[in-house]
Structure 1
């Protein structure tokens, strides 16, 4: 008796297999609401303290950074999830008061992730535009040295390949090693903070403020993360 063979199963994409099951901790910077607690001093990771949180910046038309960060981060999360990457977020909505920066770092470390990526946008001089990717420097542990710098480079390369300009006013070649970002200083796993662009610059704000532009940023950052995970 004749049998009908089922349709052949397409082989798994080896690049997808290489990242499936990995973990990425995503931090949409700032919060949808703030209260007096944001001024509370918390450890900065280098023996000092800094405020728990800040409210973030906004474009001249009022579009707030916290909403931009939330939108782009969730686009990145969706894209990574499609590849089988497990993701965790530092905050669960864009309406409430979110965790302090040290609590976000603790949550990230508790997840034991392969990468930590914090999404932000800058509020720099109106004449300056472009992205920059921050990493902790000087490094405080092995994860912050080679691995974090490689992650920063991978994200930088993907943003540049997408045609997004590198910062004209901070860092060099789209990278910025710095010691003042608590979330990066406290990280025990490879961590970067991406400033997608300058919300005070008209050209950057137009791109950041459009759904198509945010999709472009998210796709580029996702590509950089995946490149790093593939090693």
Structure 2
């Protein structure tokens, strides 16, 4: 089942809570780009893009876009005070040296071990893997934002990924419209359930074993 704007924003808003003041964060294409809208300009958070910005701000208001400013997905963006610009080689140098505190990305599948498949569906044309592989391997914390199931209703959180992997054991946290799930060494732990879902709904729509935390938070 497809997700509406409200659910996408709910996921992005929850992801924003993982970001602390002064962090350097990369946002992937799709739902992750919405996270910038929930971070206050004065927080000192510096958003990093593969196309060469450190200090990307929220989406500009309609009519106030700058034709020279876009995020890695090619969409208009703004910048915050203290932002800097550089080439893609420098942007990837920052990623590969492990300077990013958090990367937030979308996924097609995530396994119970935290394997991520997010760059290709076999048989479909894609422009390439972009920065997905470097980002998923090198950031200090990797957060996956996605719909809990496919449009056909199949689980996207699975025992083993069937699609080509982006990274093995890369994910630390998964946030969907149904739940917040932590990837631990001994498997997946359900830590939050999103309104209006119940623990049973999350378990039923997950294709891997879920340990339910003693302190599971059911959001109203």
Q: TM-score, normalised by structure 1?
A: 0.29
User: Higher strand fraction: Structure 1 or Structure 2?
Assistant: 2
Whose radius of gyration is greater, 1 or 2?
1
* Higher RCO, Cα 8 Å, sep 6+: 1
Which has more helix, going by share of residues? Answer: 1
